[in-house]
Amino acid sequence: MAFSIDAAFIIKAIIILLIFAITLLIATYSTYAERKVAAFIQDRIGPNRAGPFGLLQPIADAVKMFFKEDFIPSHASKWLFILGPCLSMLTALMTSAVIPFGDSIKYEAAPGKVWDVAVQAIDVNIGILYVFGVVSLGVYGIMVGGWASNNKFSLLGAIRAASQNISYEISMGLAIVAILMMTGSLSIRHIVEQQHGGNWNIFYQPLGFVIFITCAFAECNRTPFDLPECETELIGGYHTEYSSMKLGFYLFAEYINMFVSSAMIASLYFGGYNYPGMDWVQAKLIAATGEITGHNLATLVGTLAFFGKSLFFVFFYMWVRWTLPRFRYDQLMNLGWKGLIPLAIVNVILTGGAILYLKPLVVSLLK
C-alpha cells in the first residue's frame, strides 16, 4: 500500500510539473505565434533570424529582458513596485491548477489493483469559484504596480484595469451561472464529463459563449479592450515605468492568462478533452493494446484534442487583435454595463425557463 501511495504521489507530481511547464512553454511561444500571425495578416515575414524559421526568437527576447537594466524610479514605492509584477505572474500561473487537461492515467499498483490519477493538478469540487477568486486577485498586481510607480499614466492605466475587470467579471459570472444551472456542479471536471458524447454546452449556450469570450478579451486586456496599456493615450499604461524582467513578468502573465482563458472556454463550452468518436477510439485502443495501455493512449488523444481546442482560441485572440481597432473607454464601459450584463441576465432567465418548462416537455415526448 505504501508503494502504491508513493507511486500515485509521484505520478501526480509529474502531472503538476508538466501542466505548469506546458503552460509556460505555450505562453512563451505565444509571443512568437503572435508576431507570426501579425506578419501573415499584414503581409510581412515576421521573426526569421533567431534560429530556423525564427523559432529561437522567444529565447532571444528572454535573454534581452534578463540583461536589460533593472530600473526602479526614485520616487516609487520600492517593495510594492517589485510586488506588482510578482502578483500578476503568480495569479496567472495559479489558475491553470484546476483545469482538467485530460481524463486519467491508469497504472497497476499491485496484481488486481488498478489506480486512476486524473490529468489535473488539483481536482476540487469548486473549481469555477477557485478560478474566479484567483482571477479577481490578478487585478491587484496591476493596481499595485500602477500605484507604486508614482506615475500618473501608470495610475490611470491601473484604474482602468480595475474598473474594466470588475465590469466584465459580472457578465462573465452570469454567463457561467447559466452553465451551472444546466450542470448542477462547480467542478470543471464534472462540467467536462457532462459534455461527453457530443453534448457540448456551445449547442445549448451560444449566447452565453459569446458573452463569455467577449468578457475574456476584457479580462486579459486584449485588443480591442487593451485600454489599461493604451499606448496612444497612456504611453505604456500601468507598466510604463517597468523594465527588465519585471516588465517581462507583466507581459508574460498576459499570455498565460490568454492560454488559461482559452482552456476555460474549451472546457466549459467545447467539451474539454472530449471529441467526436471518443468512445470508438478508446474501444479500438483497448482492444489493440490492453485495458491500461489503451486507456492511457486514449487519454493522450483526448489531451491532444483539448490542446487543439485551446490553441485555436489562442489563435482567435491574435486574429482579433490584428483585425479590430481599439474601443474608446466610454464604449468599453457602455458595452459592459449596458450591453453584456442585460444580455447575460436574459440568458440566465431563458436557461431557467428552458430547464423548467422545455426539459420536462422533451422528456415526455421522448417517452
The tens digit of pLDDT for each residue in 340-364 reads: 999 999 999 999 988 888 767 666 6
Q: Which pairing describes strands 113-118 and 104-110: parallel, antiparallel, or unpaired?
A: antiparallel
Q: What are the cell numbers at 315?
A: 489563435
Strand partners, 115: 107
Measured CA to CA in angstroms, residue 22 lies from 27, 110, 128, 244, 346 at distances of 8, 31, 21, 24, 38
Question: Does residue 113 lie in a domain region?
Answer: no
pLDDT above 70 as % of the chain: 92
Question: Does residue 291 lie in a domain region?
Answer: yes
Question: Does residue 267 lie in a domain region?
Answer: yes
Mean local confidence (pLDDT), 229-244: 72
The alpha carbons of the chain give a radius of gyration, in whole angstroms, of 22
Q: Exposed/middle/buried for 92, CB within 10 Å: 0-12, 13-18, 19+?
A: buried
Looking at the predicted structure, is the pLDDT value of residue 72 above 90? no
Domain count, the chain: 1
174, 201, 212: which is closest to 267 by C-alpha?
A: 201
How many C-beta atoms lie closer than 10 Å to residue 55's C-beta? 13
- pLDDT score of 172: 92
Question: pLDDT tens digits, residue range 271-330?
Answer: 999 999 899 999 999 898 888 889 889 999 999 999 999 999 999 999 998 888 888 888
* DSSP H or E stretch at residue 104: strand 104-110
Question: Does residue 327 lie in a domain region?
Answer: yes
- Give residue 367's pLDDT band: very low, low, confident or very high (50, 70, 90): low
- Give residue 3's pLDDT band: very low, low, confident or very high (50, 70, 90): very low
Question: pLDDT tens digits, residue range 187-232?
Answer: 999 999 999 888 899 999 999 999 999 999 988 888 788 776 666 6
State the Cα–Cα distance between residues 7 and 116, nearest whole angstrom: 11
Question: Does residue 73 lie in a domain region?
Answer: yes
- pLDDT score of 233: 61
363, 366, 362, 355: which is closest to 205 by C-alpha?
A: 355
How many C-beta atoms lie closer than 10 Å to residue 123's C-beta? 18
- pLDDT score of 2: 44
DSSP secondary structure string for all residues of 161-182 = HHHHHHHHHHHHHHHHHHHHHH
76 phi and psi angles, rounded to 5 deg: -80, 155
Measured CA to CA in angstroms, residue 297 lies from 12, 300, 337 at distances of 17, 5, 46
Question: Does residue 133 lie in a domain region?
Answer: yes
Q: Which residues of 128-149 are buried (b: 16+ CB within 10 A; e: fewer)?
A: bebbbebbeebbbbbbbbbbbb
Question: Does residue 112 lie in a domain region?
Answer: no
Residues 6+ apart with CB under 8 A from 304: none
Strand partners, 118: 104
CB-CB contact of 293 with 68 (8 Å):
no
Question: Within 13 Å, how many C-alpha atoms sit on residue 333's CB side?
Answer: 7
∠ CA 230-90-47, nearest 5°, is 55
Question: Does residue 100 lie in a domain region?
Answer: yes
How many C-beta atoms lie closer than 10 Å to residue 17's C-beta? 11
| Domain boundaries, position 68 | 60-106+119-366
Name the average pLDDT for the chain.
86
Looking at the predicted structure, is the pLDDT value of residue 1 above 60? no
Please state the pTM of the whole predicted model: 0.89
